[in-house]
Amino acid sequence: MWRRVIFIRCCFWTLTETGAPCGLQMECVPQGLCKTSAWNQNAISWPSPCQRSESCCHSSQKLVIGAPLNCGKSNPNGLGGTVEEVVDQAKPNEFPWTVALMQNLINFFGAGTLVTENIVITAAHLMLDKTINDFGIIGGAWDLKQLAGKTIQWRTATRIVSHPDFNKMTGANNIALIVLETSFVMKPPIGPICWPTSGVSFDRERCLVAGWGRPDFLAKNYSYKQKKIDLPIVSRSDCESLLRRTAFVQSFQLDPTILCAGGERGRDACIGDGGSPLMCPIPGHPAIYELVGIVNSGFSCGLENVPALYTNISHMRPWIEKQLNDELNKPYKTFPIYNISYD
């Protein structure tokens, strides 16, 4: 069983209209725009009238934020000129937050996702045998055979923070943070993805995974031009049922830190995609993405009714925030959260 990884959500918001009422002096507002994180459960009726991206907030606790944050903005038409449309291939620099990890600065071994100017999220399994001197991080790449252009930025790591409870057998807690020695210059074609809202379910949505892994299980080489694969998010119950048949283990159970995606023939992340982002478009804003997961592991590649496993970024958010607050001294509030109207 091979390991692979993925993808986060960002945002801006200007509150110009009163949200839908959800209780006495309460209204639905985008998550992150309420000073109190807990909802007043006694003041609202259930099920909540708020949409999945919203919290029921007392009017006195509502925040109004006017300045947009640049996160999650893709380039659907690519950058740097016209390129022929190729199925399952990203346009040049379509996803500014994807970075390539290069061992000894020449051998590609996985991917990561830029969430701030100096923090990359990737898979812990990629870092098991690595020190900060073993690899470099490349931003602005699309074609791994052309890494000398003006848009390319090379960086080195100053620290690796892997989850202490990472389990190689189950894929649980398969996440690591790479702290860069020098921050990326945040200008096109490089920029962060958006941070996901904690606790939000993405079941029944279609999302993308982007990376440079093999195009299929039998391929001998990685994809030198970046792939993008459209995948369905699979519910936990459906995923467990499908994988119990695949693994022939009736007791198979997903760890809470894992989500599933895929299960369609010929459409999957594959060997070499570890650490790559699984990203979902913001509803109503198809060119703006949030990081939902990172490629974790799978059974072969592209088999029908065999979803792949991804580290659940929303579930891992408390751990990530703790590392940034307590150990890395970078308050998580600097993460770009894309809170917008979902009318």
SS3 64: coil
Higher pLDDT, 199 or 189: 189
Q: What is the pLDDT of residues 103-123, one digit of tens each?
A: 987 899 999 999 989 999 999
Judgement on whether residues 39 and 108 belong to the same structural domain of the protein = no
**Can you tell me the distance from the alpha carbon of 113 to that of 137, in angstroms, rounded to the nearest whole number?**
10
pTM of the predicted structure, to 2 decimals = 0.77
Judgement on whether residues 308 and 290 belong to the same structural domain of the protein = yes
Residue 32 lies in a domain: yes
- Is residue 238 within a helix (H) or strand (E), and if so which, with residue range? helix 236-247
Q: What percent of the chain has a predicted confidence (pLDDT) above 90?
A: 55
At 206, list the tokens: 């279609």
Judgement on whether residues 202 and 278 belong to the same structural domain of the protein = yes
Judgement on whether residues 36 and 160 belong to the same structural domain of the protein = no
Judgement on whether residues 32 and 129 belong to the same structural domain of the protein = no
Residue-level pLDDT at 204 = 54
Judgement on whether residues 35 and 144 belong to the same structural domain of the protein = no
Q: What percent of the chain has a predicted confidence (pLDDT) above 70?
A: 75
Residue-level pLDDT at 29 = 72
Judgement on whether residues 55 and 119 belong to the same structural domain of the protein = no
CATH number at 189 reads 2.40.10.10
Q: Does the structure show a pLDDT above 50 at 340?
A: no
In single-letter form, the type of residue at position 192 comes to P
Q: Does the structure show a pLDDT above 60 at 280?
A: yes
Residue 173 lies in a domain: yes
Q: What is the pLDDT of residues 234-270, one digit of tens each?
A: 999 999 999 998 766 677 889 999 999 999 999 999 9
- Is residue 135 within a helix (H) or strand (E), and if so which, with residue range? strand 135-139
Residue-level pLDDT at 248 = 60
The domain in which residue 227 lies consists of 1-11+70-343
> What residues are paired with 277 via a beta bridge?
294
Judgement on whether residues 83 and 102 belong to the same structural domain of the protein = yes
Residue 184 lies in a domain: yes
pLDDT average, residue stretch 158-170: 95
Residue-level pLDDT at 38 = 36
> What values do phi and psi take at 174, rounded to 5?
-85, 80
User: Strand ranges (DSSP E) for 163-238?
Assistant: 176-180, 206-211, 227-234
Judgement on whether residues 49 and 155 belong to the same structural domain of the protein = no
Higher pLDDT, 2 or 232: 232
Residue 16 lies in a domain: no
Q: Does the structure show a pLDDT above 70 at 193?
A: yes
Residue-level pLDDT at 249 = 67
Judgement on whether residues 26 and 140 belong to the same structural domain of the protein = no
pLDDT average, residue stretch 130-134: 95
The closest of 126, 185, 155 to 4, measured between CA atoms, is 126
pLDDT average, residue stretch 151-172: 95
The answer to which of 19-33, 236-250, 253-267, 275-289 has the lowest mean pLDDT is 19-33
Judgement on whether residues 52 and 79 belong to the same structural domain of the protein = no
How is residue 127 annotated by DSSP?
G
Residue-level pLDDT at 9 = 30
Residue-level pLDDT at 13 = 29
Judgement on whether residues 105 and 161 belong to the same structural domain of the protein = yes
Q: What is the pLDDT of residues 35-66, one digit of tens each?
A: 554 333 333 334 567 776 667 877 766 644 33
Q: Considering its fold, how many domains does the chain have in total?
A: 2
Q: Does the structure show a pLDDT above 60 at 12?
A: no
